[in-house]
Structure 1
Amino acid sequence: MTGKPSRRQLFGYAGAAAAGAAVTGGAVALGNSSSDPASAQPAAARTIDPYGDHQPGIAAASPKHAELVALNLLPSTDDQAALGRLLRLWTKDIVALSAGRPALGDTAPELAVANVALTVTVGFGPKVFTLPGLTAKKPRGFSAVPAMSHDRLQPQWSGGDLLLLVGADDPVSVVHAVRRLVADAAPFARPVWRQTGFWNGTGSDGKPVTGRNLFGQVDGSGNPAPGTPEFDSTVWSTDGWLTGGTTLVVRRITMNLDTWDELTRSEQERAVGRTLSNGAPLTGSVEQDDLDLEKRDAEGRLVIAETSHARLSHHSTNDGRRIFRKGLNYVQDTGATRESGLIFLSYQADIVSQFLPLLARLDAADALNEWTTTIGSAVFAIPPGFREDGWLGRTLLT
């Protein structure tokens, strides 16, 4: 790359140790705090209740298989009443499919099966808040993400008025649920992009683990743990109709695996700040150890490099800002060409005050920028959950 320092110039030395956060977003992961993957929902939990104060897919572990579909509203869906009809229909679909029952009018009812940990997360894009009656209900801090200097955004992976994020243990169940939800949306909205991904959050012993991205790194170690006060303050909004909901940033990030593989193991670890073997900070011994940002090696150099992803994204260097990030690996083949990367999902109560400052910091100096490029970006307001006598989006649309 003309005009750029070599990888060894960038890192300073090949064998240095460092500490930090696992790759996940922006330039790939944002935020860092200690959490124990064992405290996440057990892998054995196969049925996820669709009812509750929050949409359940947010705090659940990353699904084994997932599909994201962004839809744009049709011209006829021009007010909150029309949007409400769609959301009532989707709510019925979600309740049925989560229980393994076919949705109303299902043309392939045999594909609706139980006990596959199916979740459906629904979100509203910026255009929703331009509809009559909804312009004053745009959430505080809900904003599109401006293009960063290292982004190469493509329209086919960006934007969207509505979002469906479907996850399950079984890929057939994901495909079937998406098929039904998109079919029922046809009078109201049409798909504009689809992204599919996968994740392995189960270790060889059958216990939950954080999981790895396609760089081979343990990815998501620093998340606040669901159910804790730290998680609640990071993720859940307290802003009017969105109370109990959140906001989501979706970033499609390509990973240059070929040039990444040219690095030595220690160079890879120095770029991120965690060991490849178990995800521990290079200043610690286990994944859950916090970073020691002041530690220096025998030659006086910072173990956690100034350009390391870990240092730049750590909450202590970002005025305490945190996010809750999740990832889905993806591969997309076009003939003999393969694109590999990460679908990065960032949940936070406020995009402007939590996500954007972290992203700008990473864009300016993150070592991982040499091997990652964001090609898609979208934002959605994720409404709170619903009870048995309610429906999804009711707090906004009534």
Structure 2
Amino acid sequence: MTGRPSRRQLFGYAGAAAAGAAVTGGVVSLTEGAPSHSLEGDTGGREISPYGVHQPAVAAASPKHAELVALNLLDGVDKAALGRLMRLWTSDIVALTSGRPAPGDTAPELALGNVSLTVTAGFGPRVFALPGLTARRPRGLDELPVMSHDRLQTAWSGGDLVLLIGAEDPVSVVHTVRRMVADAAPFARPVWRQTGFWNGTGSDGKPVTGRNLFGQVDGSGNPAPGTPEFEQTVWSAEPDWFAGGTTLVVRRIKLDLDTWDELTRSEQERAVGRKLSTGAPLTGTAEHDELDLERRDADGRLVIAENAHARLSHHSSNDGRRIFRKGLNYVHDTGGSRESGLIFLSYQADIAGQFLPLLARLDAADALNEWTTTIGSAVFALPPGFQPTGWLGQELLG
């Protein structure tokens, strides 16, 4: 033993200026609407820069492998200490996304380049109860009310901080989570972890929307990244520190695959309002065809039923409200049985103004409620991105 302090101790208890110098020196579909033919960028086997106006993973395609970790702040952690953690995490993000070991990495050989590694971080509502932050809470950032079909479990709900880590390589995800959770130890402890997977690549190697475990093409109606519609839907403009940030809703949705499989394909498609084969609306022929919500069949019935998921979530049924949604499939073994579901991720500028009215409408009448149960719920503010001379959350905590 040399008596030298560990890296975590240095960042946990050193002054903010010293920590900052170390960083800068070392550095189930819930929306239907406009078609999204591809997400921003191809996340297959490359290096994704951690820098930018926005955190880069938000507009990117869902990763092949991902893990979400929620943490609660330890007693006594204040604004200044949270700033030290964000500087530390920034140094980890910069190193690991470029394929270099994080400073003090205990397994440096596991740091790999060109695996499309991304790290997204955010703050839960309780962070904005800290002294000095109470007046800087983003509008609408409140825990969601419990819906009538929710059966929420504390094991998957809440959290003061969140990390969403994704990559093409599962080992890189595990290693990055391990490093960042270890470096957070003087400040926060994990309260839940969720792992998921997604296939956004077709058999021809080209990007596709991807499917959930019901077999549905999931996410067809997203606004397309880079368009004015996407910008208005996702990025916040206020308060000032939050410009370029967004809010994230995480909903863990258990799928009843056994009873779903008892339905005929036509019954499944009627519940969704889309064809299982292609994801096309029942009134169209291709995935990105616009829904015809007025069309009726020969018997006078609406082709897309009144309670079909696609109808109820369509922006025209929700006063023009939109969200940008992604999904991660999950399988979880629970004492000899297997639970399958979807980790639903929704990004929007304002949770209360965009997501909550949509959620309430679906809770009241969605046909899919018979086969889905939400068992986890959490909300977070994702700060804007950072530049090479800055750090994550600097606008709030600096």
Shared fold per TM-score greater than 0.5: yes
Deviation, structure 1 residue 31: 1.9
Partner of 2:177: 178
Write out per-residue CA displacement over residues 10-56 of structure 1, whole angstroms, 9 at most, x where no aligned residue.
xxxxxxxxxxxxxxxxxx32221232434542254611110000000
Partner of 2:86: 87
Deviation, structure 1 residue 142: 1.3
CA distance in 1, matches of 2:334, 2:341: 15
Matched, 1:357 2:354: no
Matched, 1:99 2:98: yes
Deviation, structure 1 residue 310: 0.8
Amino acid in structure 2 at the alignment position of 1:340 = S
Matched, 1:318 2:318: yes
CA distance in 2, matches of 1:338, 1:37: 34
Write out per-residue CA displacement over residues 103-147 of structure 1, whole angstroms, 9 at most, x where no aligned residue.
011000000000000000001001100001000000112121100
Partner of 2:301: 301
Partner of 1:25: none
Contact 1:148/1:360 (8 A) holds in 2: yes
CA distance in 2, matches of 1:38, 1:58: 14
Deviation, structure 1 residue 269: 0.3
Contact 1:71/1:160 (8 A) holds in 2: yes
Amino acid in structure 2 at the alignment position of 1:303 = V
User: Which sections of structure 1, spanning at least 5 residues, go unmatched?
Assistant: 1-27
User: Which sections of structure 2, spanning at least 5 residues, go unmatched?
Assistant: 1-27
Number of paired residues? Answer: 370
Matched, 1:376 2:376: yes
Contact 2:45/2:168 (8 A) holds in 1: no
Are residues 43 and 206 of structure 1, via their aligned partners in 2, closer, same or farther at CA, if it must alter by over 3 Å?
Answer: farther
Amino acid in structure 2 at the alignment position of 1:319 = D
Partner of 2:158: 159
Describe the SS at the equivalent of 1:282.
Answer: coil
The structure whose RCO (Cα within 8 Å, separation 6+) is larger is: 1
Describe the SS at the equivalent of 1:311.
Answer: helix
Are residues 160 and 366 of structure 1, via their aligned partners in 2, closer, same or farther at CA, if it must alter by over 3 Å?
Answer: same
Contact 2:43/2:116 (8 A) holds in 1: no
CA distance in 1, matches of 2:334, 2:36: 38
Describe the SS at the equivalent of 1:29.
Answer: coil
Are residues 36 and 360 of structure 1, via their aligned partners in 2, closer, same or farther at CA, if it must alter by over 3 Å?
Answer: closer
Partner of 1:67: 67
CA distance in 2, matches of 1:44, 1:109: 23
CA distance in 2, matches of 1:158, 1:51: 29
Partner of 1:5: none
Are residues 38 and 247 of structure 1, via their aligned partners in 2, closer, same or farther at CA, if it must alter by over 3 Å?
Answer: closer
CA distance in 1, matches of 2:200, 2:44: 11
Write out per-residue CA displacement over residues 244-270 of structure 1, whole angstroms, 9 at most, x where no aligned residue.
000000000000000000000000000
Contact 1:34/1:289 (8 A) holds in 2: no
CA distance in 1, matches of 2:39, 2:159: 34
Amino acid in structure 2 at the alignment position of 1:193 = W
Deviates more, 1:141-150 or 1:28-37: 28-37
CA distance in 2, matches of 1:43, 1:167: 10
Partner of 1:20: none
Describe the SS at the equivalent of 1:33.
Answer: coil
Deviation, structure 1 residue 86: 0.1
Deviation, structure 1 residue 362: 0.2
Describe the SS at the equivalent of 2:231.
Answer: helix
CA distance in 2, matches of 1:351, 1:294: 29
Partner of 2:15: none
Write out per-residue CA displacement over residues 166-187 of structure 1, whole angstroms, 9 at most, x where no aligned residue.
0000000000000000000000
Describe the SS at the equivalent of 2:57.
Answer: coil
Deviation, structure 1 residue 205: 0.4
Partner of 1:274: 274
Partner of 1:111: 110
Describe the SS at the equivalent of 1:172.
Answer: helix
Amino acid in structure 2 at the alignment position of 1:237 = S
RMSD between aligned residues: 0.9
Deviation, structure 1 residue 192: 0.3
Contact 1:112/1:176 (8 A) holds in 2: yes
Q: TM-score, normalised by structure 2?
A: 0.92
Contact 1:330/1:343 (8 A) holds in 2: yes
Alignment of 1:135-150 (within 5 A): 135-150=134-149
Describe the SS at the equivalent of 1:222.
Answer: coil
CA distance in 1, matches of 2:390, 2:218: 36
Contact 1:40/1:208 (8 A) holds in 2: no
CA distance in 2, matches of 1:39, 1:349: 18
Deviation, structure 1 residue 334: 2.4
Amino acid in structure 2 at the alignment position of 1:173 = S
Contact 2:39/2:59 (8 A) holds in 1: no
CA distance in 2, matches of 1:336, 1:63: 28
